[in-house]
């Protein structure tokens, strides 16, 4: 299996794990109100950075897909009967994607450039 294929498989596994975790019955975690938004931001930031390693052209499509995925999760939560969708969660998801997109574009281009050809092989 090529490195690129392995990267895609591991990425999709993360997408599925995130979906399962977000649709699992809610657990009250300690912390101030709204602290779960940090988890949303970090999760989607991570996914964007992960997939940006193998998507080097038209990353804006990846941005739209991940924001759409966040919206899908919120809709599924609202339909579940035991979770609820939250616009603030979607905003945190979207912010994570956009922060990562900016990092990949302007802060980490050399990192991606060095490892990108390996990932795409």
User: pTM for the whole thing?
Assistant: 0.85
Could you give the CA distance from residue 28 to residue 13 in angstroms, rounded to a whole number? 25
Could you give the CA distance from residue 15 to residue 73 in angstroms, rounded to a whole number? 11
Least confident window among 9-18, 64-73, 87-96, 107-116: 107-116
* pLDDT over threshold 90, residue 67: yes
* pLDDT over threshold 60, residue 45: yes
Write down the pLDDT at residue 84: 87
Least confident window among 37-46, 87-96, 108-117: 108-117
**Residues 37-63, mean pLDDT to the nearest whole number:** 92
Q: Is there a contact between 24 and 80 (Cβ–Cβ < 8 Å)?
A: no
HSE-CB for 17 with a 13 A CA cutoff:
9
Q: For the chain, what's the residue count?
A: 121
């Amino acid at each position: 299996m090529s490195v690129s294929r392995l990267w895609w498989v591991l990425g999709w596994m993360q997408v599925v794990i995130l979906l399962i975790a977000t649709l699992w019955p809610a657990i009250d975690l300690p912390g101030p109100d709204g602290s779960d938004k940090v988890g949303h931001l970090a999760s989607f930031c991570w996914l964007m950075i992960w997939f940006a390693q193998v998507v080097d052209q038209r990353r804006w499509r990846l941005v739209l897909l991940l924001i759409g995925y966040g919206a899908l999760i919120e809709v599924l939560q609202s339909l579940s009967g035991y979770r609820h969708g939250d616009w603030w969660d979607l905003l945190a998801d979207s912010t994570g994607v956009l922060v990562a997109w900016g990092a990949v574009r302007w802060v980490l281009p050399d990192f991606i450039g060095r490892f990108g050809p390996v990932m795409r092989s």
